Amino acid sequence: MKLPFCRAALAGLVAFSSLAQAADGGATAEQAVAMVKKGVAFIKASGADKGYAEITSKTGQFRLEDLYLVVYGLDGTVRAHGANEKMVGRNLIDLKDVDGKAFVRERVELAHAKPSFWQDYKFTNPETRKIEPKAMYCERLDESVVCGGIYK
């Protein structure tokens, strides 16, 4: 009798902690994974041009609080960027974070090696305008990598 109650309590606690994080303005890892999968499916169904435009749109379906998608070509060129449309078309392969980590180069290398992965680096949070640790979930799609991240 106690075991089902403990499982229910634990499930409620997990759900509450995810909601609390989201209420604090931060997306969860689960939301990032779901958003990337949704973005990949949208690009596959609608084509790259329409998919990239929707991801880059400030009013599109691929934004949730501080969570947005970015798409890089496997050469480091930004194909879509949900937080900064001015980045689209720019090759950022040598961009480094505040610690000197070439995170775009690393992301492209990881995309060549794995179909999906998590990557850690530091980036400016568009909500707080502060540089914060970030974890980015990415999935390779043809000659691109679709990513969405959470701030820690």
pLDDT digits (tens, 9 = 90+) for 101-124: 999 999 999 999 999 999 999 998
Predicted TM-score (pTM) of this structure: 0.82
Question: Quick one: pLDDT at residue 25?
Answer: 62
Q: Which residues contact 142 (CB under 8 A, 6 or more apart)?
A: none
Q: Which residues contact 108 (CB under 8 A, 6 or more apart)?
A: 72, 74, 75, 76, 93, 145
Reported as a single tens digit per residue, the pLDDT across 40-57 is 999 999 999 999 999 999
CB 121 within 8 A of CB 134: yes
pLDDT at residue 9 greater than cutoff 90: no
Between 3.20.20.80, 3.30.450.20, 3.40.50.1980, 3.30.110.30, what CATH number should domain 25-151 receive?
A: 3.30.450.20
Domain range summary for the chain, segments of one domain joined by +: 25-151
